[in-house]
Chain A
């Protein structure tokens, strides 16, 4: 896919906005529809669009497989780590209330961190699956 000028220009214009929308969905999931899962898929979609319109090899230079695997692991560890942090603060596993002085505030913080973990894991796994398939050709 080297000669499709219109596609390339449009993709270059769209990708920043797709990424921005992904981060908005990630951080705004507690007020509007969305959350880590949807945000992860949208962010992965931006990179997949880049890989389709430009080249899979160029895209995998932007996000190498080793980086993706680390991000996926970090996402799951971040989620489970919040649970362990709650244990250390004297609560039960994934009882976010102990993260702040007020239970509701602690819950809010816990939900935000956990959603970031979900977003990292989902985005990385979607890209891992895509690149694993696309590399076969």
Chain B
């Protein structure tokens, strides 16, 4: 889809996320679908719209021909699709992912943690240290945005000229 209007692009991205969430539901990954619908289709779209409101609604026309990036993306996509041919068939029982720790979690998870939702048990208990890292990453991202953007307002207030007012 070829869009130069960034507002429309943000909306298409939101719709795409919602479709992905539906796909996760079909694949029985409801926790992932939930996250995709809330973060991908919801909050990300709002943040995109805010960024567009701060910058501009139309994409700038570039004079550079995008052939090299296009070739790189197409080659990477082709390689990735080629790599999927070497993967075990969808849903097959003796795939490596099903034989490592997954059977243990499914069989022992509820009796060890008292939590019927095995996704929550893995995320918060078996992989609790990873989740602590994730929360720290989110926290750091929030603090980074806060520091960067609060600095920007202060600077703009100090050196705003009439010409700049008009351009804003």
**CB–CB A38/B34 < 8 A:** yes
Is B27's beta carbon under 8 Å from chain A? no
A-B pairs, top 4 by smallest CB distance, nearest first, are A125-B142, A108-B114, A33-B30, A107-B113
User: For window 28-62 of chain B, which residues contact chain A by CB distance below 8 Å?
Assistant: 30-31, 33-35, 38-39, 42-43, 46-47, 50-51, 53-54
Contacts of B153 in A (CB 8 A): 135-136
Contacts of A124 in B (CB 8 A): 142
Partner of B112, one of A33, A107, A133: A107
Contacts of A105 in B (CB 8 A): 114
Contacts of A32 in B (CB 8 A): 117
Q: Chain B interface mostly helix, strand, loop or mixed?
A: helix
**CB–CB A118/B43 < 8 A:** no
B residues touching A (Cβ–Cβ < 8 Å)?
A: 30-31, 33-35, 38-39, 42-43, 46-47, 50-51, 53-54, 111-117, 119-121, 123-125, 128-129, 131-132, 135-136, 138-139, 141-143, 145-146, 149-150, 152-153
**CB–CB B138/A34 < 8 A:** no
Contacts of A31 in B (CB 8 A): 115-117
**CB–CB A133/B50 < 8 A:** yes
Partner of A128, one of B50, B121, B129, B142: B142
**CB–CB A122/B138 < 8 A:** yes
Q: How far is the CA of A69 from the CA of B143 in the complex (A)?
A: 8
Is A63's beta carbon under 8 Å from chain B? no
Q: How far is the CA of A34 from the CA of B135 in the complex (A)?
A: 16
User: For window 90-137 of chain A, which residues contact chain B by CB distance below 8 Å?
Assistant: 93-94, 96, 103-105, 107-108, 110-111, 114-115, 117-118, 121-122, 124-126, 128-130, 132-137
